[in-house]
């Protein structure tokens, strides 16, 4: 094994719009994920990990900064993350780590085709092979250090994994590194998956969850066949699993497997007709529950599960602590590295929310909300501190019975409402409607730019 002069290296891999339950190791027998199952067998799988904000830009910012959205201010998609905040990239770079970012970025505002030049807008990442945001998975685009995009007519996750391997093979044996790899799938378009993976999943073999409601005039489901779409979604996950296996083999070949912390997660989930909804921005499990598997050889107990709730805002401080790197005191997420090791108690609850209504939330008439998720309960409110949802996830795992007005659950509701209020106060979240919050966090100019559209010509955000 290569000997390092510094602490463990870090490989952070995250998918886009992948639900936490859709892996073999998470109990879904219909989706094939042998590489991720092997990672879980060799590490810790968090059974209750949640997207702090179940939509791309705000959650990616929380994941990298360890801050809640009202602090990092990117409360909606396509708002730029300021370079003033510490990220895991900055911290690792300051500690002498080689840092790299490959794949979807979605943290540099509009247009989505925007070039992010070398410098502070890259948030501490040096090696760069990234594109702000695109979902054409058969036409891969990425920027290096020049403002001309590189285009390859190949499946995007394959190209991105090639680029990740380029970074890894360019390291010296004693280099500590942080590599973040962000894949676009299984985010829609659902059928944009190579045929060899689609052929592995027959729509007739898909078991529809009991909370799926397909008799809906939801515009986001227009023209989609439910079983074929879910089969394609599974196919995309299996395609990613194959690329993850490649990364595992590369680490082993380079002698870096045993000195690298590996983290796999997603930035949010996907409703896929659950309760009649599509996509995300909702407090239901399909939207907020995401995978989290962490392998740290010699540190974390292999083949275990972690039952306490954890949120994506907690990942930055936790990853830094596992690597022995300093956790910036301004980070608001909680370092749960000790509980992951089996040392001490985990969190009793996490704070989640949809801070800005946009795009598919507008088209589905969804609201802003804030929520508390404990190991057992989901409790959510809408602006004005109005109670909205209460689910007992132990007795009702498909969340089909809203207990918010049930007298028998009044004390539970009151206790969770108090806990939510404490989170709002601690985080400094005023829980305002979207337009008021945009002004409150000082993002009016950037928000108006994203609302006018991603590019001078082409679709507006609500059309994408």
Instruction: Give catalytic residues, as residue numbers.
Output: 56, 106
User: Burial letters for 335-344: b for 16+ Cβ neighbours within 10 Å, e otherwise?
Assistant: bbbebbbeee
User: Burial letters for 402-414: b for 16+ Cβ neighbours within 10 Å, e otherwise?
Assistant: ebbeeeeeeebbe
- Enumerate residues 6+ apart whose C-beta is below 8 A from 366: 277, 281, 282, 354, 357
In the numeric block, which tokens belong to residue 252? 């082993």
In the numeric block, which tokens belong to residue 292? 């989290």
In the numeric block, which tokens belong to residue 37? 């199952």
Cα–Cα dist 190/388, whole Å: 31
Cα–Cα dist 63/267, whole Å: 8
CB 270 within 8 A of CB 18: yes
Strands (E), 288-337: 292-295, 304-306, 310-311
Side-chain-side CA neighbours of 365 within 13 Å: the count stands at: 4
- Enumerate residues 6+ apart whose C-beta is below 8 A from 271: 277, 278, 279, 280, 282, 284, 286, 287
In sequence order, the β-bridge partners of residue 352 are: 371
Reading phi first (left if > 0) and then psi (alpha if -120 to 50, else beta), residue 119 is in left
Q: How many CB atoms lie within 10 A of CB 452?
A: 12
Handedness of CA 222, 358, 277, 195 (dihedral sign): positive
Cα–Cα dist 342/345, whole Å: 8
In degrees, to the nearest 5, what angle opens at C-alpha 52 toward C-alphas 46 and 55?
115
CB 53 within 8 A of CB 79: no
Please report, for residues 40, 266, 333, 359, the alpha-carbon distance to residue 341 in angstroms, rounded to integers and kept in the order given.
Answer: 14, 22, 18, 40
Angle between helices 56-65 and 315-322 (to 10 degrees): 30
CB 402 within 8 A of CB 391: yes
């Amino acid at each position: 094994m290569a000997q390092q002069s510094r602490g463990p290296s870090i490989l952070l891999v995250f998918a886009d719009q992948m639900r936490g339950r859709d892996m073999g190791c998470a109990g879904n027998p219909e989706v094939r994920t042998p590489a991720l199952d092997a990672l879980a067998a060799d590490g810790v799988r968090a059974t209750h990990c949640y997207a702090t904000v179940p939509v791309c830009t705000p959650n990616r910012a929380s994941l990298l900064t360890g801050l809640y959205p009202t602090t990092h201010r990117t409360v909606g998609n396509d708002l730029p993350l300021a370079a003033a905040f510490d990220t895991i990239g900055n911290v690792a770079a300051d500690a002498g780590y080689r840092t790299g970012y490959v794949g979807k970025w979605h943290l540099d505002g509009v247009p989505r085709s925007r070039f992010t030049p070398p410098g502070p807008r890259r948030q501490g990442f040096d090696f760069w092979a990234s594109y702000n945001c695109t979902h054409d998975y058969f036409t891969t685009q990425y920027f290096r250090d020049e403002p001309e995009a590189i285009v390859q007519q190949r499946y995007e996750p394959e190209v991105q994994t090639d680029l990740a391997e380029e970074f890894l093979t360019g390291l010296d044996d004693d280099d500590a590194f942080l590599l973040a790899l962000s894949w676009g799938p299984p985010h829609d378009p659902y059928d944009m998956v190579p045929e060899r993976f689609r052929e592995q999943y027959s729509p007739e073999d898909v078991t529809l969850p009991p909370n799926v409601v397909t008799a809906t005039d939801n515009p986001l489901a227009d023209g989609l066949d439910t079983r074929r779409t879910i089969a394609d979604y599974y196919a995309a996950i299996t395609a990613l699993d194959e690329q993850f296996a490649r990364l595992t083999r590369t680490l082993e070949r380079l002698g870096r497997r045993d000195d690298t912390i590996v983290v796999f997660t997603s930035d949010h989930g996907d409703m896929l007709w659950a309760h009649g909804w599509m996509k995300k921005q909702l407090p239901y499990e399909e939207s907020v529950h995401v995978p989290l598997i962490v392998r740290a050889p010699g540190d974390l107990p292999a083949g275990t599960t972690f039952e306490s709730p954890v949120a994506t805002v907690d990942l930055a401080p936790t990853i830094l602590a596992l690597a022995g790197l300093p956790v910036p005191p301004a980070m608001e997420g909680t370092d749960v590295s000790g509980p992951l090791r089996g040392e001490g108690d985990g969190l009793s609850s996490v704070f989640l929310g949809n801070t800005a209504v946009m795009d598919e939330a507008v088209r589905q008439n969804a609201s802003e909300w804030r929520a508390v998720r404990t190991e057992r309960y989901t409790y959510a409110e809408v602006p004005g501190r109005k109670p909205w949802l209460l689910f007992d996830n132990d007795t009702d795992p498909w969340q089909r019975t809203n207990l918010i007005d049930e007298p028998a659950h009044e004390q539970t509701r009151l206790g969770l409402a108090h806990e939510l209020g404490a989170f709002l106060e601690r985080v400094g979240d005023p829980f305002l409607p979207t337009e008021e919050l945009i002004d409150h966090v000082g993002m009016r100019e950037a928000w108006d730019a994203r609302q006018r559209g991603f590019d001078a010509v082409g679709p507006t955000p609500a059309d994408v």
